[in-house]
Amino acid sequence: MYRRLFFAMIGGVPLLGLPAVAQSETDAAAVTPGASVPAATEAAPAAVPAAVAAPGTAVPEAAKPETAALPAAGAAAAEPAEVKPAEAVPAEAKPAEAKPALTRASAPAKPATRPIEDPAPRSSWPIAQRYYPTEVSVRPDLEVGSIIIVSDKFFLYHIIAPGKAMRYGVAVGRDELKFRGTAVVARKVRWPTWTPTPDMIKRNPNAYEKYKEGMPGGLTNPLGARAMYLYQDGKDTAIRIHGTTEPSSIGHAVSNGCLRMVNDHVIALFDQVPVGTKVTVY
């Protein structure tokens, strides 16, 4: 009887002061063999402090964190998905701006101005023989390089050496327009522009008004192929030694005051006379 009583009390009476361990709702011994115990009903083992555990009592390890399930042996490891760096999203491509082709100005180009060619020198001219270029003897005291004009004889003398001069025929101004005095060559121009003076326009507007803005140089320009501009005290006298479109006027007083020469003759003189040359008109 005592043995029965002893076994009957083992199920729920504490033994020697050890706390009772509550059984789960489903006794493991009562579970049908092969049946699985629901995970929710399995009790986690109680943690027994080592300081109070009876000798020989196994101290369960602290619960380990749940780990990921490993693949079965021999199974091919799944390759990790390839992680691509984020691709930069390009800005919206703008069409290249079309640059206009380099072109010349749309304004019509001016035709290139061709230089005016000097006429071929001639051996004869429609003038009296005495007005042909001639080397002559002059007074030795005359300044070499200077120009002397004797209006009433229609001669121009270029002093080329002591006692020697090259003489040319000229046309001079009408009586009331004759220039007298000393001046210097201040400018030299090839195929010059001609502009009538205000006095010329006033005297003969029908002939000169239309040229008040000037006439470009050329074969029909009254100043001819060359012009040497005479100044006094730094001021323009409006008197020129120049060529002509009327060579037959040489030897006559017909101009508005200027001194005309045949184009071939004025070209030759022009090439020999520097700016600053002294000119005396008698």
What is the per-residue pLDDT across 77-127, written as a single tens digit (0 to 9) for each?
Answer: 444 445 454 454 445 545 555 554 444 444 444 444 567 888 788 888 999
- Residue 44 is predicted with a pLDDT of 43
- Cα distances from 145 to residues 61, 164, 276, in angstroms, run 134, 10, 10
- Residue 52 is predicted with a pLDDT of 40
Tokens found for residue 212: 């008040």
In the chain, which residues have pLDDT < 50?
A: 1-55, 57-81, 83, 85-86, 88-90, 93, 100-112
- Residue 46 is predicted with a pLDDT of 43
What DSSP element (H or E) covers 269?
helix 263-272
Per DSSP, the three-state class of 151 is helix
CB-based burial label for 253 (10 Å; 0-12, 13-18, 19+): middle
Q: Nearest-CA neighbor of 239 among 227, 254, 225?
A: 227
- Residue 215 is predicted with a pLDDT of 85
- Residue 94 is predicted with a pLDDT of 52
- Residue 273 is predicted with a pLDDT of 97
